[in-house]
């Protein structure tokens, strides 16, 4: 069990690839293993991970009326996507000490689907509630099918509050601000032109960070920080030496955007502070007053009054669902983080679409002490994993490719 748990922790805790686990294990422990012991193969580690994941989907959970669900979908290539539902009891939330972590959450369900509608999501939530009881809250990023499904579920179960992720709301607020700012498009366009000219030159160290193609308004901080640093380098003039000379040649035009960069930075800092507040404090009655005070105490270069009013109103409306003395979950970022870790585990396999490694989602949340790992492996043989995959997983893109080309000669 020590070997099994160590290998699992390499993957879950250290993001070591499945193929690297045997090599790392051999390097660290090869000289200390007993004569009858062997270094586990990557395939063994994979099976252990899948068995833990399936066990997490089947183990009994407490029936209670204070469960909070976080739900979202992830898609790679092909038509299959996975619906993930994580849960935590509101009596167990770590607010206000810290934000939610992977080990705080329990996997309620992992559902590969080829189509998703509000009605399908509502049915998935009904099935999930059989494990836990009717949830007190459902949190999502506001995707159309998930939003409608949660609302349909709440119509049947009025004790369930439906909440919108604060981070996605903040991103929408920023998107509206930036898309209505005429200078922003020109600014990013010029940055892109400079980047393409200098990436293969001695000035490559001056390249601006890239905005992500998806969720770009959730990742503005690094670009705006870089912009402010470049302005400071320009302001140093001859005192900045060669770096300032090169910066002047490439980015002297940034001075024209100084006021805009300051304005954009205030927007981003105000929204980030609000999101961090909800992430670590949750949603409770009257928390909007505390948020307003926190935002008003920001330095002048990090505070925007108009956005403060918008963000405080959102938190107030969201926290109205909470009962007196109750703290609801206000962020779905922990689920997004679990998806990110899952994609790290998949590595190159993600190019094959949704594969059996989707079951590893069950192992990436919660805590796995040795006793829990032992119980999971004893209760979940390999044949159960195979049966689950046959029942719930359509053929992956890779398996379809192999079947189609099996008789084709090179």
pLDDT digits (tens, 9 = 90+) for 190-207: 999 999 998 888 888 888
Task: Work out the pLDDT band at 403, boundaries 50, 70, 90.
Answer: low
DSSP character string of 339-367: HHHHHHHHGGGGGG-S-GGGGGGGGSSS-
How many alpha carbons fall within 13 Å on the CB side of residue 311? 35
Burial class (CB in 10 A: 0-12, 13-18, 19+), 66: middle
Between 29 and 18, where is the model more confident? Answer: 18
| The model's pTM | 0.89
Please tell me the CATH superfamily of domain 62-164+332-366, with its number: Ribonuclease H-like superfamily/Ribonuclease H (3.30.420.10)
pLDDT number for residue 26? 77
Burial class (CB in 10 A: 0-12, 13-18, 19+), 87: buried
φ, ψ dihedrals at 365, nearest 5°: -125, 165
The residues that bridge with 307 in the sheet, in sequence order, are: none
Nearest Cα to Cα of residue 76 among 358, 311, 292? 358
pLDDT number for residue 219? 80
Average per-residue pLDDT for the chain: 89
| Among the ranges given (149-163, 230-244, 381-395), the one the predictor scored with the smallest mean pLDDT | 230-244
- Measured in residues, the chain has a length of 410
Residue 124 is encoded by which pair of tokens? 């998935």
Q: Spell out the residues 6+ positions from residue 50 whose beta carbon is closer than 8 angstroms to its own.
A: 356, 357, 359, 360, 363, 385
Residue with tokens 């922990």, as numbered in its chain: 334
Between 157 and 211, where is the model more confident? Answer: 157
> Measured in whole angstroms, how far is the alpha carbon of residue 377 from the centre of its chain?
28
CA angle 102, 105, 106 (to 5 degrees): 125
Alpha-carbon distance of 197 to 174, in angstroms, equals 29
Burial class (CB in 10 A: 0-12, 13-18, 19+), 251: buried
Mean pLDDT of 294-317: 95
Using the CB atoms, write b or e for 28-56: b if 16+ within 10 Å: eeeeeeeeeeebbeeebbbbbbbbbbbbb
The residues that bridge with 136 in the sheet, in sequence order, are: none
The residues that bridge with 109 in the sheet, in sequence order, are: 85
Q: Spell out the residues 6+ positions from residue 78 whose beta carbon is closer than 8 angstroms to its own.
A: 353, 354, 396, 397
**Residue 302 reports pLDDT greater than 80:** yes
Q: Spell out the residues 6+ positions from residue 128 whose beta carbon is closer than 8 angstroms to its own.
A: 69, 85, 87, 108, 109, 135
Residue 357 is encoded by which pair of tokens? 């490694």
**Residue 135 reports pLDDT greater than 60:** yes
Distances (CA, A) of 179 to 56, 254, 261: 43, 20, 15
Nearest Cα to Cα of residue 57 among 284, 338, 292, 360? 360
pLDDT number for residue 38? 72
**Residue 242 reports pLDDT greater than 70:** yes
Q: Is 240 helix (H, G, I), strand (E, B) or coil?
A: helix
> Domain boundaries in the chain?
62-164+332-366, 166-330
**Residue 240 reports pLDDT greater than 70:** no
Q: Spell out the residues 6+ positions from residue 345 whose beta carbon is closer than 8 angstroms to its own.
A: 11, 15, 17, 18, 49, 357, 360, 364
Percent of the chain with pLDDT over 90: 62
pLDDT number for residue 243? 77
pLDDT number for residue 213? 66
Alpha-carbon distance of 359 to 280, in angstroms, equals 29
For residue range 42-79, list pLDDT tens digits in order. Answer: 899 999 999 999 999 999 999 999 999 999 998 777 67
Nearest Cα to Cα of residue 269 among 235, 232, 297? 297
pLDDT number for residue 247? 86
Alpha-carbon distance of 145 to 115, in angstroms, equals 10
């Amino acid at each position: 069990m020590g070997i099994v748990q160590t290998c699992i922790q390499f993957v879950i805790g250290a993001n070591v690839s499945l193929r690297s686990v045997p090599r790392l294990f051999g390097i660290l422990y090869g000289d200390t293993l007993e004569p009858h012991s062997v270094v586990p193969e990557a395939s063994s580690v994979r099976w252990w991970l899948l068995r833990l994941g399936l066990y997490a989907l089947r183990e009994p959970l407490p029936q209670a009326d204070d469960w909070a669900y976080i739900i979202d979908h992830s898609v790679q290539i092909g038509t299959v996507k996975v619906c993930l539902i994580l849960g935590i009891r509101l009596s167990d939330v770590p607010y206000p000490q810290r934000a939610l972590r992977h080990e705080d959450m329990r996997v309620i369900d992992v559902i590969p689907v080829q189509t998703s509608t509000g009605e399908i999501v509502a049915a998935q939530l009904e099935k999930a509630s059989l494990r836990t009881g009717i949830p007190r809250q459902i949190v999502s990023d506001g995707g159309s099918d998930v939003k409608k499904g949660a609302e349909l579920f709440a119509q049947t179960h009025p004790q369930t509050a439906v909440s919108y992720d604060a981070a996605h709301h903040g991103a929408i607020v920023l998107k509206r601000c930036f898309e209505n700012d005429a200078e922003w498009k020109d600014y990013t366009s010029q940055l892109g032109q400079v980047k393409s000219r200098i990436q293969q030159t001695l000035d490559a160290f001056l390249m601006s960070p890239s905005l992500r193609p998806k969720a770009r308004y959730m990742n503005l901080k690094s670009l705006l920080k870089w912009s402010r640093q470049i302005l400071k380098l320009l302001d140093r003039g001859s005192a900045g030496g060669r770096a300032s000379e090169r910066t002047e040649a490439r980015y002297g035009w940034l001075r024209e955007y100084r006021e805009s960069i300051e304005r954009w930075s205030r927007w981003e800092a105000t929204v980030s502070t609000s999101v961090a507040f909800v992430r670590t404090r949750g949603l409770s009655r009257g928390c909007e007053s505390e948020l307003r005070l926190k935002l008003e105490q920001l330095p002048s270069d990090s505070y925007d009054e108009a956005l403060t009013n918008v963000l405080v109103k959102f938190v107030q409306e969201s926290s109205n669902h909470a009962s007196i003395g109750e703290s609801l979950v206000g962020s779905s970022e922990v689920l997004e983080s679990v998806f990110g870790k899952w994609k790290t585990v998949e590595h190159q396999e993600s190019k094959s679409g949704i594969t059996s490694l989707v079951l590893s989602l069950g192992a990436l949340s919660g805590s796995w002490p040795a006793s829990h790992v032992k119980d999971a492996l004893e209760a979940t043989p390999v044949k159960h994993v195979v049966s689950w995959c046959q029942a719930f997983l359509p053929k992956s893109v890779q398996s379809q490719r192999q079947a189609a080309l099996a008789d084709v000669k090179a």
